Amino acid sequence: MFSIEQTTWSDSCEILRFLESCNFIHRHLDWLPLLDWIDSSPFLKYKVNGQMEGIFVSPPDPPGVAWIKSFACRKQLESYQIFKSLLEQALNLLPIGTLQLLAIGLQDWFIKLLTMNDFRLIQKVVVLKHKQVFSKSLINPSVFIRPMQLDDITAVAEVDQTSFEPIWTVSSQGLKAAFFQSARASVAEMGGKIIGYELSTANSFSAHLARIAVLPEFQKEKIGFQLVHAMIEFFYKMGIRDITVNTQDSNHASISLYQKAGFQMTGDQIPVFQYKPTLNTGQ
C-alpha cells in the first residue's frame, strides 16, 4: 500500500536521507534550497509501507505559475507510477484552472515522464557564450550603473514582473536569494529611478549572466546592452573570459542584444514543458 501526504519540517531529515539514496532526481534551476519549500503546498511525499519512495514539489511561485521544483524516486521502473500518482495529487491541490504548471527537461528520463503525463513542449531555452570583443558604441551616457543593494530588491522585483511574461518572472523572495548568491549584481538608474538590473554568478573560471531586465518603456534606450557591457567588463578585469547566458528561443530581442554584445549560440538547448491535458470530447 502506498500513501501520499504533504510534508512538514519534521520530515526534513528523512527527505535528505531519501535524496542521498535516490538515483533519479529532477531539481529545478531554483535560487532557493529545496527544503525552503517544505511548508509550501504541494510538497508531497510518496510512501510504500512506511518508507519514502518519492517526492514531488511544485508550489506556486510567483502566483499563477508553478514549476516542478523537484521530483525524485529510487528506481526508474517505478518512476512512472510514482510520478503519475504524485502529479494527480498535486493537481488536486493546485488551482489548475488559473495556474500554469511547468517543468524544465534537464534529463532524458524526466522528459519521458513529462511527455507521458500530458506535458507539452512549449519552448526551448538556448545557451549563448561570449566569443568576441564587444563594441562600446551602444553606451547610453544618461544611464548610471551601480552595485545593487538589498534595499533595491522591491524596485528590482517591479522591473522583473513588468519585463517578463509570467512564467519567467521571479518573486521578491527568489530575487533576494539570487542577490545573496550572485558574484555581481547591478542596477541601471535614470533620473534616480531603477529601470533595469543584472544578476550574475561566477566561479574561478567562468561566469553566467543569470538575470537581466529593463522596464519595457526603456528597452530601446540601449540600457540592456549597457548592463551586459558592464558585466562583461567586470569579469574580464577578473581574468574570466568564459561567460554564458540563457534565454528563450522565442525571445528574439534578447538574442539580438546578446549577439551585439559578442555572444554566439552554442547549440545547447533545454526544453520547457507545460501541463496541457488532452480534452476528452467523448467522440
Which residue has 519595457 as its cell numbers?
A: 216
pLDDT digits (tens, 9 = 90+) for 238-279: 999 999 999 999 999 899 999 988 999 999 999 999 999 886
**pLDDT score at 281:** 47
Contact 224, 211 (CB under 8 A): no
pLDDT at 117 over 70: yes
CA distance 82 to 71: 10
Give the residue-averaged pLDDT of 119-123: 97
Residue 137 pLDDT level (bands cut at 50, 70, 90): low
- Residue 281 is placed in which grid cell? 470530447
pTM of the model: 0.90
DSSP annotation string for 116-181: TTTEEEEEEEEEEEE-SPPPSTT--TT-EEEE--GGGHHHHHHHHHHHS-GGG---HHHHHHHHHH
pLDDT digits (tens, 9 = 90+) for 39-52: 999 999 999 999 99
**pLDDT score at 1:** 81
Q: What average pLDDT does the structure give for the chain? A: 92
pLDDT at 206 over 70: yes
Same fold: 2-117 with 127-270: yes
The topology (CATH level 3) of 127-270 is Aminopeptidase (3.40.630)
- The burial of 115, by beta-carbon neighbours within 10 Å (0-12 exposed, 13-18 middle, 19 or more buried), is given as middle
CA distance 8 to 35: 10
Residue 222 pLDDT level (bands cut at 50, 70, 90): confident
pLDDT at 283 over 80: no
CA distance 198 to 9: 34
CATH label, 2-117, candidates 1.10.1740.10, 3.40.50.11540, 3.40.630.30, 3.20.20.150:
3.40.630.30
**pLDDT score at 280:** 56
Domain residue ranges in the chain: 2-117, 127-270
Pick the closest to residue 198 from 233, 248, 165 (CA basis). Answer: 233
pLDDT at 135 over 60: no
